Structure formats: structure tokens, C-alpha cells
Amino acid sequence: MTPPPTACADPTTVAAPPAPSVDVTPGPAPAPAPPASPATGGLLVLAGMLLVALNLRAAITGLGALLDEVRTGLALSGTMAGVVTTLPAIAFAVFGAVTPRLVRRHSSARVLIVAMLALVAGQVLRVLTDSSAVFLVTSAVALAGIAVANVLLPMLVKQHFPGRLGLVTGAYSMALTVGATVAAAATVPVAHALGSWRAGLAVWAGLAAVAVLPWVPLALRARASRRAASPTAARVDRPRIRPGRTRLGWAMATYFGTQSLGAYAIMGWLAQLFRDAGYRPETAGLLLAGVTALGTPIALVMPALAARVRTLRPLILSLSTAMTLAYLGLAVVPAAGALLWVVLLAIGQSAFPLILATIGLRARTAEGTVSLSAFTQSVGYLIAALGPLLVGILYEATGGWRLPLGFLLAALAVQTTAGMVIARPRHIEDER
């Protein structure tokens, strides 16, 4: 079959892989499109990706900063507030899983436009209601948009920037961290300045609306390319890759899930740990912010390192060692070595940009990348949702931090074991 003559002009359609993969549907496949260049939309794709990344945590950390005001304004019970804080991980797992199916039917640009519009609509609608149930539903709509974008970004890096996988992954990881940090720091002052927690949350819908703009011309270009393609080419079945049937897929999901479990637990409880150790609330908050601030430049460097080394084993062991020392220090002398533990936590939590880069490194094709990304993140976020909950239960049961930190050390051991599986070079398409 002759490939579509306009395949190179479509900067957003998933390219079909040149080699057979797990559970492949028989039939000829079109040639994969080359990476986008500045002349064919590469810069626009990159700008769009960075704008999307800025939005991937802002709606969550902004809500976290105003959770007390939201609880009061909507009369949320303690249980309902717990549901609100757990909702992101659940939504990421559920809605992220459907993303590969969406990409098989529509261009990635079109899917991202709808995802960002869902984020805009969800953030606007949730501040217009006095019903806690409606607030949850509209928050889920916003989170659905984030979940789809979470899965798509690694695929877009693999598709458009295969020669700069580490650099571009680092750039969008850093943008994600910056968006989360700015939202956490600015939401309360904005709410006070505008006189309402509703306004403080609603402003981030504007950032999501801006993220739609670069994808509109890309979606129009993809639509024109599909119309120009031959009817026969449009009917070609894409290969189906099922990471859930592979050892690599489960190892990736386990590593992603356990590192996210630890990260969520630290974000939720580290300030309380330092307060219990004798620090004032303001200082404890600054120490928590230090983990994010120090992690921002590491998020830029780590994916580039991962793309350069032959095996990920040294990186994975180094990050696990840093986290082990931090947990042990927090358990034994939390106050005396607080700054050191913050530095070690920032280093150890760069496992997140590492695993994002590894998604692209462990797939040969865009189709393989989006399938692996969806499975890794969907299963991983289900695991991660347990972190803050179990740490809170153990803390309440014991009144101290040694047992919760012991639980986090056990999760880290599982993370490291899974990391050894994903460390050596291999590809999801090759696993049966």
C-alpha cells in the first residue's frame, strides 16, 4: 500500500510503527512521519507542550492552598474533603486509560484541544456552585483534561523530538513543576486580592485557555492532511500494544506508582512532620517548598541524563539511596538535619522526571509510547492514591512518624526493585 502523500505534513497524528508489536492487527501500515522541524511546526508543538505542562498541576495545587476556605464555603465534611484530595489520582488513573483509544481515532492536537477546554470548563464551573456534589463532578471534568494531557505529552516528545527526548522531557517536566509551584504560592494572595476563594481558583482557567491556542492551527493542519489521505490509507488498522501483558509494562507502572506514592505522601505530610519536630508553621511550609524549588532544576537535567546513559541502573540506585537517607534522617533526627533531608528528598523525587523520560526510551514508536504512558500512569496513580491515606492512618494510630516512614521505606524498596527491571535497554513492542 502506498503511504499517504501528506504524512509528513501532519504534525500531530500518531505514526504507525515499522515493525510488528505485541498483539498486532494484521495489515500493511503507512510509513512513519519524520520528526517535526521548525518549518513544519516543531516550535509550535514545543510551545504548545510547555503551555499544557504549566497546567498539569496548577488546578490541583491551587485547590490545596485554599482547601480550608473551600471546606468552609461549601460546608464540606472531613470525609468529603478527603475525597477531594484523593480525586486527582483516581481521575488520572481512570481517564488516562482511555487516551490511546482517543488518539487512534483523532489527531493528538484535537484531543489536546478538547482536554484543555475540559480543564477550562471544569475550573470555571466548580467555582460557580454551592453544591459539594457539583463541585466534585466539575473538578473531575477538569482533572479528566489533565489526565489525557499527562498521557499524551510523552508520546508527543517521542513523535516530534526523538533526537532530543531527554531535553524536551526535561523542559516540560520543569514547566510542570513551575506551574505547580506558582499556583501553590500565588493562589492565596490572588484570592485575598480579589476577595474570594472562588476567584482565586478561577484565574487558573485563563492559563488553560491560553494552552488551547497553539493546538488550533496544528489540529487544522492534521484535519487537512487526513482529508487529503487516500480512503484506503484511512482504513489501515493500527497495531495494538498491550503493556498490561508484559513484564516491562508492570515494572514501569510499579516504579511510577511507588515513586508517586512517596511524593504525594511527602507533599501532604512533610510540613506536619517538621511542625511536630518543633518548627513554626511558616518555617515548616518553607522547608516543604524547598523540596519543590530544589527539584525544579533537577527536573530539567534528569531526563537528559537518562537519555545519554546505556543503563539506568546507576541513576535509579542513586535516587533510591538519596530517598533512603532522607527517610532515615527524618525518622531519627528530623530537626537537626532538616536542610539536608530537604536536599536529599529533592534529589530522590527526581525519579518522577526520570520515569517520564523512560516511557519514551522504552518504546520504539509513538503508538507504543502512548500505550505505555497510559498503562504506566493509570496503574501508577491508583497505587499513588494510597500514599497520603495510609501515612495519615499510621500517623493517627501511632502518634509519631517512625511507622509511617517505615511504610515509605518499604514502598521505596518495591520502587527500587521495579527500577532494576526497567533499567536495561528494551522496548515494549518487543515483549510478548
pLDDT tens readout for residues 319-354? 999 999 999 999 999 999 999 999 999 999 999 999
pLDDT in tens, 241-282: 889 889 999 999 999 999 999 988 888 788 889 989 998 877
Q: Which of 282, 273, 409 is nearest to 348 (CA)?
A: 409
Task: Write out the H or E segment, with its range, that includes residue 272.
Answer: helix 247-276
What's the grid cell of residue 267? 507533599
pLDDT in tens, 14-59: 444 444 444 433 333 333 444 444 434 588 999 999 999 999 989 9
Give 399-406 contacts, CB < 8 A, sequence gap 24+: 401/273, 401/276, 401/330, 401/331, 401/334, 402/331, 404/265, 404/269, 405/327, 405/328, 405/330, 405/331, 406/331
Amino acid at 59: A
d(CA 374, CA 401): 34
Q: What is the pLDDT of residue 193?
A: 92
- Check pLDDT > 70 for residue 166: yes
Instruction: Kindly report the pTM of this predicted structure.
Output: 0.79
CATH topology match: 38-238 vs 241-432: yes
Contact 301, 170 (CB under 8 A): yes
Q: What is the pLDDT of residue 300?
A: 86
Quote the DSSP letter at residue 57: T
Question: Distance of CA 179 to CAs 187, 209, 235, 253, Å?
Answer: 11, 15, 40, 25
Tell me which of 62-76, 319-333, 368-382 is least confident: 62-76
Fold entry, domain 241-432: Growth Hormone; Chain: A; (1.20.1250)
- Check pLDDT > 80 for residue 223: no
Q: What are the extents of the domains in the chain?
A: 38-238, 241-432
In the predicted model, what is the mean pLDDT of the chain? 85
> For the chain, what's the residue count?
432
Task: Write out the H or E segment, with its range, that includes residue 279.
Answer: none
Q: What is the pLDDT of residue 239?
A: 58
d(CA 61, CA 50): 18
d(CA 376, CA 252): 6
Higher pLDDT, 88 or 34: 88
Mean pLDDT of all residues in 75-79: 79
Mean pLDDT of all residues in 104-127: 94
Q: What is the pLDDT of residue 229?
A: 60
Cell 464555603 appears where? 73
- Check pLDDT > 80 for residue 225: no
Contact 61, 188 (CB under 8 A): no
Q: What is the pLDDT of residue 145?
A: 96
| pLDDT band at 317; cut points 50, 70, 90 | very high
Q: What is the pLDDT of residue 41?
A: 55
Q: Confirm or reject CATH 2.10.240.10 for domain 38-238, answering yes or no.
A: no
